[in-house]
């Protein structure tokens, strides 16, 4: 039978989302079905007579109790750990939500106090929305009917909440079934946030739903689908952000501004992806987008960070000139800032980038000590050399250099030397090498007073991000920068014995 995969999402780059106390709030359930089981399930379903939700609920056992006791029971359900097995997890969620619905019905049947009544309705609505995904032909079939009754009811708060839950249901259908048009999502969202009475709960429900749309590895989207999804997420975050950025609650308003920042970030990533494919217009649009962000009357405070992040991304993509242009834009927008520390930091970033991005075609010469003796750079003349700058604090460096060695070994017919340049103080380097055996050339270029990216070698070559790998040609001039991972494989494949 269909398996519902439970997945939670949070929005990166803004404050952690407010957590809700019960599963079903702000969670994503994606219904999937294996090809092997679909035929058997169809035959089984044909043999089963559909039962009403009332009949199904009658079979569910829950304890008797007062409203407070039943609320405690609902909370205890959510304390139970879910199985790691997808099928078992789906069944546990289905049973848990069914018990929650029945417990909420029991609370409401006792005509509780207004606050308790509202809480019970909210919990029941949450559970039915979840069941509409994991048990659409059972108790979950009641979700839309119940939500619509609340939308048309006398309680404005519950009406708005029900609309928000219906919107989440639409998003879930878009993700799991692909039966919803993006225009429908945008129309429902705009209607939801345009309500002048929309409050923090509507904000959170809408924000969480769009968080589910953020692509991840599980979605298995092709390039066009990924681009379309990212564009949709940007539009939705912008709609929510614009709807709540001036909200009376400062916390909500601040989070809304965070969503506007996320929308800008997605826009920039989309443009960078297009630039990476060689689309010249996208490079200009990236620059223009950042210019508009810096010039905006109302800023979200992330403009500078996004500019530098974009420049670094372009740099790693091999788009050096566009990257430098954006580094210059970042510096231009802070060189008159009253914050001296900020000016100093961005100026340093700009200066290092200018040096680093100008390395290609320029000579490189490494001097220092290796194994306690003076390092002879001239012995590498006439060879291709991969020069890797690093420090011992770099997370995963030991694994990275092993990967680099393995990649080079796979292209043994294209000889290339590896020289690692350590920027630690001599004391730290010794401590590191005592713990980690490296069967590779390690050149120490720092001294006790000037180490790290502040040592003279790092400054000379614009080293600011570690590890920093540079391919030097037989003539001693830099051929490429940021040569690791896929870029290293590409560089190795382009070499030929005749070129060495």
Of the listed ranges 105-119, 204-218, 337-351, the least confidently predicted one is 204-218
Tell me what the mean pLDDT of segment 393-403 comes to: 91
Say if residue 112's pLDDT is above 70.
Answer: yes
SS3 label, residue 379: helix
> pLDDT, tens digit, for every residue of 194-243?
988 889 999 999 999 999 999 887 778 888 898 999 999 999 999 999 99
pLDDT score for 497: 65
Residue identified by tokens 């920042």 is 261
Exposure string of 307-334, with b = 16+ CB inside 10 Å and e = fewer, is bbbbbbbbbbbebbebbbbbbebbbebb
Contact 113, 68 (CB under 8 A): no
Q: CA nearest 273: which of 236, 237, 221, 219?
A: 221
Of the listed ranges 13-27, 390-404, 432-446, the least confidently predicted one is 13-27
> pLDDT, tens digit, for every residue of 198-211?
899 999 999 999 99
pLDDT score for 285: 97
pLDDT score for 6: 30
User: CATH number for the 369-499 domain, one of 2.60.40.3500, 3.40.30.10, 3.20.10.10, 2.40.30.20?
Assistant: 3.40.30.10
| 499 contact partners, CB below 8 Å, separation of at least 6 | 474
Beta bridge partners of 29: 6
d(CA 83, CA 13): 30
If pLDDT is split at 50, 70 and 90, which confidence band does 53 have? low
Give 71 or 22, the one with higher predicted confidence. Answer: 71
d(CA 237, CA 252): 14
**By 3-state DSSP, what share of the chain in percent is helix, strand and coil, each rounded to 5?**
60, 10, 30
Burial class (CB in 10 A: 0-12, 13-18, 19+), 478: buried
> pLDDT, tens digit, for every residue of 270-311?
999 999 999 999 999 999 999 999 999 888 889 999 999 999
Ramachandran angles phi, psi of 313, nearest 5°: -60, -45
Tell me what the mean pLDDT of segment 59-64 comes to: 92
Tell me what the mean pLDDT of segment 52-68 comes to: 86
Say if residue 25's pLDDT is above 50.
Answer: no
SS3 label, residue 422: strand
| DSSP category for residue 477 | B
Say if residue 498's pLDDT is above 60.
Answer: no
If pLDDT is split at 50, 70 and 90, which confidence band does 52 have? low
Six token digits for residue 392:
């011992």
pTM above 0.85, yes or no: no
Q: Please report, for the chain, the start and end positions of each structural domain, with discontinuous segments joined by +.
A: 3-246, 278-357, 369-499
Give 365 or 223, the one with higher predicted confidence. Answer: 365
Ramachandran angles phi, psi of 127, nearest 5°: -65, -40
pLDDT score for 49: 39
User: In this prediction, what percent of the chain has a pLDDT beyond 90?
Assistant: 71
Rg from Cα positions in the chain: 29
pLDDT score for 181: 94
Strands (E) in 400-462, as ranges, are 417-422, 441-444
If pLDDT is split at 50, 70 and 90, which confidence band does 36 have? very low
Tell me what the mean pLDDT of segment 166-171 comes to: 95
Tell me what the mean pLDDT of segment 312-338 comes to: 96
> pLDDT, tens digit, for every residue of 171-188?
999 998 888 999 999 999
Say if residue 353's pLDDT is above 60.
Answer: yes
Tell me what the mean pLDDT of segment 326-332 comes to: 97
Say if residue 9's pLDDT is above 60.
Answer: no
Residues in the chain: 500
d(CA 72, CA 65): 10
Contact 17, 204 (CB under 8 A): yes
SS3 label, residue 390: strand
If pLDDT is split at 50, 70 and 90, which confidence band does 445 have? very high
Measured CA to CA in angstroms, residue 435 lies from 372, 425, 458 at distances of: 18, 16, 25
Say if residue 451's pLDDT is above 90.
Answer: no
């Amino acid at each position: 039978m269909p398996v519902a995969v439970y997945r939670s999402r949070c929005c990166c780059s803004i404050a952690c989302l407010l957590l809700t106390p019960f599963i079903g709030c702000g969670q994503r359930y994606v219904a999937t079905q294996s090809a092997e089981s679909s035929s058997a399930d169809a035959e089984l379903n044909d043999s089963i007579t559909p039962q009403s939700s009332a009949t199904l609920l009658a079979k569910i056992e829950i304890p008797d109790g007062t409203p407070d006791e039943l609320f405690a029971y609902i909370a205890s359900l959510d304390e139970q750990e879910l199985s790691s097995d997808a099928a078992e997890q789906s069944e546990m969620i289905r049973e848990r939500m069914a018990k929650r619905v029945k417990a909420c019905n029991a609370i409401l049947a006792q005509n509780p106090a207004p606050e308790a009544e509202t809480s019970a309705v909210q919990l029941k609505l949450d559970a039915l929305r979840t069941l509409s995904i994991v048990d659409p032909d059972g108790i979950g079939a009641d979700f839309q009917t119940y939500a619509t009754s609340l939308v048309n009811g006398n309680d404005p708060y519950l009406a708005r909440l029900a609309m928000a839950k219906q919107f989440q249901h639409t998003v879930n259908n878009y993700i799991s079934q692909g039966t919803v048009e993006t225009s429908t999502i945008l129309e429902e969202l705009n209607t939801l946030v345009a309500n002048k009475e929309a409050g923090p709960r509507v904000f959170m429900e809408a924000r969480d739903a769009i968080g589910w749309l953020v692509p991840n590895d599980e979605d298995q989207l092709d390039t066009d689908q990924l681009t379309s999804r990212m564009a949709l997420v940007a539009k939705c975050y912008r709609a929510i952000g614009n709807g709540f950025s001036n909200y009376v609650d400062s916390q909500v308003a601040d989070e809304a501004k965070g969503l506007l920042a996320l929308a800008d970030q997605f826009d920039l990533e989309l443009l960078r992806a297009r630039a990476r494919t060689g689309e010249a217009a996208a490079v200009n649009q990236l620059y223009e987008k950042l210019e508009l962000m810096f010039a905006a009357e109302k800023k979200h405070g992330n403009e500078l960070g996004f500019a530098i992040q974009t420049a670094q991304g372009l740099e790693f993509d091999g788009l050096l000139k566009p990257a430098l242009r954006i580094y210059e834009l970042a510096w231009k927008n802070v060189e008159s800032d009253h914050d001296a520390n900020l000016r100093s930091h961005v100026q340093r970033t700009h200066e290092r980038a200018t040096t680093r991005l100008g390395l290609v075609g320029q000579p490189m010469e490494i001097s220092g000590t290796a194994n306690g003796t003076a390092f002879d750079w001239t012995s590498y003349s006439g060879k291709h050399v991969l020069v890797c700058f690093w420090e011992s604090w770099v997370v995963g460096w030991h694994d990275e250099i092993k990967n680099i060695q393995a990649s080079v070994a796979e292209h043994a017919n294209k000889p290339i030397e590896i020289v690692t340049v350590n920027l630690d103080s001599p004391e730290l380097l010794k401590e590191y090498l005592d713990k980690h055996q490296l069967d590779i050339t390690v050149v120490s270029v720092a001294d006790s007073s000037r180490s790290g990216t502040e040592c003279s070698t790092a400054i000379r070559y614009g080293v600011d991000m570690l590890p920093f790998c540079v391919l030097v040609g037989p003539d001693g001039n830099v051929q490429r920068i940021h040569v690791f991972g896929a870029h290293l494989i590409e560089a190795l494949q382009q070499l030929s014995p005749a070129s060495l």
